[in-house]
Amino acid sequence: QQQVKQSPQSLIVQKGGISIINCAYENTAFDYFPWYQQFPGKGPALLIAIRPDVSEKKEGRFTISFNKSAKQFSLHIMDSQPGDSATYFCAASGGSSNTGKLIFGQGTTLQVKP
């Protein structure tokens, strides 16, 4: 119930293409869904986050799509650039005990080819 499943595990995209990463959750009490970007040797950095009261949120080239009924959310990176090459993690938090702890997906390693 506390799991967040992320796919694909790795992704190769040409420069200028669209990168799409998907996540699914089980706990319907989750109410905060962030995406983090992590470069090698660095800590995760928040990219964009969404709450279940909206179906889509866009910030620059990054868009989260949220499907509450399917319990799925996805990250779309438009016009992907080599500098976007990193590992991306979806996460979720919330629930009855709601301590703010994040449940992370397994991560997606994105490589954007020039």
Q: How far is the CB of 99 from another protein (least distance, A)?
A: 4
What is each CA distance from 28 to 3, 73, 81, 89, 103, in whole angstroms?
11, 13, 34, 19, 13
Residue type, 50: I
* CB 12 to another protein: min, Å: 17
Tell me the closest approach of the beta carbon of residue 39 to another protein, in angstroms.
11
| Comparison of 12 and 46: residue with beta carbon closer to another protein | 46
Which candidate, 4, 2, 1, 16, places its Cα nearest to that of 91?
4
Tell me whether residue 7 or residue 17 sits nearer to another protein (CB atom): 7
Chain residues that interact with another protein, rule: CB under 8 A = 6, 31-32, 34, 36, 41-46, 49, 51, 89, 93-94, 97-107
8 Å CB contact between 54 and 66: yes
